[in-house]
Amino acid sequence: MFKPSWFSYALSGVLALVASWALSGCYFGNRTVNQPVQGDGVTGYYETQPQSLQYCASAPSEKCVSAPTNQIPSDYTSIFTNPVLLELQDAASGQAGIFPYPTPTNASGIGVTIGANQTLGTNQTASGTLWDDPACTREDDQLVDGSFTKTNGPWTSNTPEIAKSGRIQLTLAYTITLSGTCTASLQAMANCYNDSTQCGSHSQSDVQSLFGPYIAAGAMAATDIPNLTALAYEMSYQ
């Protein structure tokens, strides 16, 4: 996640993101111009709407369940508005970003690369320890695969104040993989999930935010936390 090109970039906060259950790559800064520059053949406002959502948990056998799209994590619903801003940031490399509309000063977005035939894709990875445990490694992977299409409508968003360029369709998969000796830390997290007095210096809300969506969807139960080896969710937009 990062800022649109009209923000001044900075690298602070990258390591903290792993601890807060997010991928590295977010950038923080202040807006330096008011509007994105269009006319590059890519940059513009594109409509897109959620189509599907699936949660998976391996504890240790894998279970995947479909969930309603209103259970898409807020980190993504805050970005994938209808429409979104697709902004080309570097024509030579194809680096671009997808950002919400309207775009507040401190908005974050999803980084993508523009490929041949108007494709969109990226694969970001971050790793760190789980529960401050050097014996247990957590790796987060975010994979985006999709495309954008130039159209003249019909439009689904109630945004007559801006001109739309087309539609975006994509699949986004987020995977958390655990390796090493993790049982003790996972048991501690399970205890914290159920009882805030068992959290020590950690936040119960962080633990519940991590496991809660999978439990609510039925991909796992709270009793499965000590046996987890991986978590994943996949959503589609078009």
What is the model's pLDDT at position 36?
53
- Contact between residue 42 and residue 86 where contact means Cβ atoms under 8 Å apart: yes
Unique residue bearing structure tokens 């399970």: 190
Each residue's pLDDT tens digit in the chain (238 positions)? 544 443 322 222 222 233 333 333 332 222 222 345 567 899 999 999 999 999 999 999 999 999 999 999 988 999 999 999 999 988 999 999 999 998 876 778 899 999 999 999 999 999 999 999 999 999 999 999 999 999 999 999 999 999 999 999 999 999 999 999 999 999 999 999 999 999 999 999 999 999 999 999 999 999 999 999 999 999 999 9
User: Which residues contact residue 170 at a Cβ distance below 8 angstroms, ignoring those fewer than 6 apart?
Assistant: 48, 120, 144, 145, 146, 147, 236, 237, 238
Residue 8's CB is within 10 A of a number of other CB atoms, namely 12
Give the residue among 139, 110, 117 at the shortest CA–CA distance from 127: 139
What is the model's pLDDT at position 104?
75
Domains of the chain, by residue range, sit at: 14-237
The 8-class DSSP code of residue 189 comes to H
**pTM of the full predicted structure?**
0.83
